[in-house]
């Protein structure tokens, strides 16, 4: 079982707030993913407006599991915050997974594009 190293998990609310306010966003009906390019990789998981703690925890578990099973093979140089919305609870796993993968691929393309443009500016 692959787990995220504790050093890569965002826990500070100020870091979450900064990424959400100043970062780029990609969204769909189940997830909102905010990211800021950095030299290292950090990730945080949050839940949208949920009525109680068990529901918030379940929403965060959904996002962590999707990230763990689908995205660890991709290497990002970014700080990422994934917010899972309540609608994700009603969706089937395959639908959540495909929508999540679309967003992660969008982030990968944006991060790669800006890295390439930064390199071309140097040359």
What is the distance between the alpha carbons of residues 6 and 52, in angstroms, rounded to a whole number?
25
Greater confidence, 84 or 117?
Answer: 84
Burial of 106 (0-12, 13-18, 19+ CB in 10 A): middle
**pLDDT interval class at 112 (50, 70, 90):** low
**Helices (H), ranges, the chain:** 13-22, 53-70, 87-90, 93-122
Q: Quote the DSSP letter at residue 9.
A: B
Q: Note the pLDDT tens digit of each residue in 74-94.
A: 678 899 999 999 999 999 999
> Is 25 in a helix, a strand, or coil?
strand
pLDDT tens digit sequence for 6-16: 888 998 999 99
Q: Which pLDDT value is given to residue 71?
A: 64
How many degrees, rounded to 5, is the angle at CA 99 between CA 67 and CA 63? Answer: 30
Question: Could you tell me which CATH number the domain at 9-111 has?
Answer: 3.30.230.10
DSSP helix/strand/coil, 101: helix
- Write the pLDDT tens digit of every residue in 44-58: 999 988 889 999 999
d(CA 86, CA 77): 28
pTM: 0.86
Token pair for 55:
């529901």
Average pLDDT, the chain: 86
Check pLDDT > 70 for residue 121: no
Structural domain spans, the chain? 9-111
């Amino acid at each position: 079982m692959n787990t995220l190293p504790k050093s890569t998990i965002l826990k500070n609310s100020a870091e979450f707030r900064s990424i959400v306010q100043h970062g780029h966003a990609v969204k769909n009906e189940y997830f909102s993913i905010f990211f800021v390019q950095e030299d290292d990789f950090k990730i945080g998981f949050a839940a949208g407006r949920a009525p109680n703690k068990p529901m918030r925890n379940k929403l965060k578990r959904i996002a962590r599991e999707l990230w763990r099973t689908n995205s660890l093979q991709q290497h990002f140089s970014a700080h990422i915050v994934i917010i899972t919305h309540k609608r994700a609870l009603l969706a089937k796993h395959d639908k959540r997974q495909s929508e999540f993968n679309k967003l992660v691929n969008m982030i990968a393309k944006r991060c790669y594009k800006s890295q390439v443009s930064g390199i071309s500016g140097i040359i």
